[in-house]
């Protein structure tokens, strides 16, 4: 009897060993995603939930930040391997100062996604009324910061840009009267627009040159990338599949609605009006020269990056 029990235990142990050997190892990556609840920053988490990264033997540890500046700092420090939604100005400036970062993709190209609004009872009715007001952006060096700086030139007005953090914290400041003009990235606050509680006053697309520029990058810690490049390549392969799934039918939009806690009709608007598929393709990088010129103008760079520097920074597509 004892021999039989011993044999059964040995057989069970052997099955477990064989199963563990057959199961592929999952490589882990830490992802800092700017602003939870936004469409472009949902891809890693929704893709992981749907099994796309597991298929490529990658497991993600995802955390969210208040904006591009915080995301970039996480990548630079090594607390994140990858950062999504990182502003171009921030990326150029940090790289020029020697930060260990590389661009491995784009998270947004174009200017459909960002919007600025006022309370329904605000005296601000037109873009010219922004003169002398306080206008929100997320964090220094972000795409919202770049857009707000460009607004002053395009609209021909002078106002005070103010860092307000996430769309949620910005909304609180607008509704309490601490700041005149807030910013949002849909779907956040679309329900308030439909309810007439806030009014849109400007969009990033009001700046002509932003319409065909890559506003936000996917950055990687250079040391982690050098040590584990194949894992990053697999991450991007899965990421591309996630984007295809998000735009292929209702499943991706439904997953986003549940994740972002928004009504399905609002969720359906987001990829159509604010995030068309061609604007979130990771291998689409455009408008680098004018972006660098603006980075110099707004003192993120002392001079445009050289061709050699760009070749070192921009590893798109990563292979």
Whether residues 204 and 263 fall in one domain: no
Strands (E), 35-168: 58-65, 82-87, 101-109, 115-119, 134-137, 160-163
Domain assignment of residue 3, yes or no: no
Regarding whether 103 and 171 lie in a shared domain, the answer is no
Strand order in the sheet with 115-119: 182-184, 115-119, 198-203
The answer as to whether 250 is a domain residue is yes
Give the largest CA-CA distance in the chain.
91
Of the three residues 211, 234, 268, the one that is the final residue of a domain is 211
Per-position b or e across 242-275, b if 16+ CB within 10 A of its CB:
bbebbbeeeebbebbbeebebeeebbbbbbeebb
CA distance 31 to 306: 29
Is residue 67 assigned to a domain? yes
Q: Are residues 160 and 228 in the same domain?
A: no
Contact status, residue 94 vs residue 82, Cβ threshold 8 Å: no
- Whether 7 is covered by a domain: the verdict is no
Residue 75 belongs to some domain of the structure? yes
**Sheet strand arrangement including 82-87:** 58-65, 27-34, 82-87, 214-221, 101-109
Q: In CATH, what number is assigned to the domain containing residue 152?
A: 3.40.190.10
- Token look-up 């627009």 returns 193
Q: Which of 185, 211, 237 is the last residue of a domain?
A: 211
**Tens of pLDDT, residues 93-113:** 999 999 999 999 999 999 989
Residues 177 and 125 in one domain: yes
Domain assignment present for 303: yes
pLDDT of residue 221: 98
Check whether residue 227 and residue 194 sit in a common domain. Answer: no
CA angle, corner 238, sides to 235 and 242, nearest 5? 130
* Alpha carbon distance 314, 95 (integer Å): 11
Same domain (yes/no): 95, 219: yes
CB 132 within 8 A of CB 195: no
206 and 125, same structural domain? yes
Does residue 226 surpass a pLDDT of 50?
A: yes
Same structural domain, 130 and 202: yes
Residue 291: domain span:
26-110+213-313
CB neighbourhood size of 62 (10 A): 17
Domain check: are 67 and 122 in the same one? no
pTM score: 0.85
- Do 207 and 294 have their domain in common? no
Q: Residue 91 domain-assigned?
A: yes
**In the chain, how many domains are there?**
2
pLDDT, one tens digit per residue, over 67-93 is: 888 999 999 999 999 999 998 989 999
Do 173 and 87 lie in one domain? The reply is: no
| Lowest model confidence (mean pLDDT) among 40-54, 233-247, 292-306 | 292-306
Task: Identify whether 190 is part of a domain.
Answer: yes
Q: What is the pLDDT of residue 190?
A: 92
Do residues 233 and 308 both lie within one domain?
yes
Tens digits of residue pLDDT in 170-191:
999 999 999 999 999 989 999 9
| Residue located via tokens 């549940």 | 258
Final residue in a domain of this structure, among 194, 211, 228: 211
Q: Residues 6 or more apart from 140 whose CB is under 8 A from it?
A: 69, 90, 163
> Tokens 């790289």 belong to which residue?
95
CB 140 within 8 A of CB 167: no
């Amino acid at each position: 009897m004892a021999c039989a029990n011993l044999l059964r235990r040995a057989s069970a142990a052997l099955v477990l060993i064989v199963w563990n050997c057959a199961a592929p190892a999952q490589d882990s990556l830490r992802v800092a995603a700017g602003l939870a609840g936004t469409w472009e920053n949902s891809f890693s988490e929704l893709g992981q939930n749907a099994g796309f990264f597991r298929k490529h033997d990658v497991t993600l540890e995802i955390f969210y930040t208040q904006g591009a500046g915080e995301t970039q700092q996480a990548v630079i420090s090594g607390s994140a391997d990858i950062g999504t939604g990182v502003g171009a100005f921030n990326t150029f400036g940090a790289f020029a100062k020697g930060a260990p970062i590389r661009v491995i993709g784009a998270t947004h190209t174009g200017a459909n996604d960002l919007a600025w609004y006022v309370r329904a009872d605000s005296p601000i009715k037109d873009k010219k009324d922004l003169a002398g007001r306080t206008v929100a952006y997320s964090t220094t060096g972000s795409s919202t910061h770049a857009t707000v700086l460009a607004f002053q030139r395009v609209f021909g007005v002078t106002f005070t840009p103010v860092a307000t953090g996430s769309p949620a914290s910005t909304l609180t400041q607008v509704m309490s009267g601490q700041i005149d003009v807030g910013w949002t990235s849909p779907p956040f606050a679309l329900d308030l627009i439909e309810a007439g509680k806030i009014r849109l006053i400007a969009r990033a697309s009001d700046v002509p040159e932003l319409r065909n520029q890559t506003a936000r990058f996917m950055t990687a810690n250079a040391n982690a990338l050098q040590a584990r490049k194949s894992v990053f390549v697999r991450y991007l392969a899965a990421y591309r599949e996630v984007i295809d799934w998000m735009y292929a039918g209702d499943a991706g939009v439904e997953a986003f609605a549940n994740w972002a806690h928004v009504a399905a009709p609002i969720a359906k608007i987001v990829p159509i009006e604010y995030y068309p598929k061609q604007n979130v393709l990771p291998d689409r990088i455009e408008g680098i020269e004018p972006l660098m010129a603006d980075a110099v103008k707004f003192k993120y760079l002392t001079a445009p990056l050289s061709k050699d520097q760009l070749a070192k920074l921009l590893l798109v597509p990563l292979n």
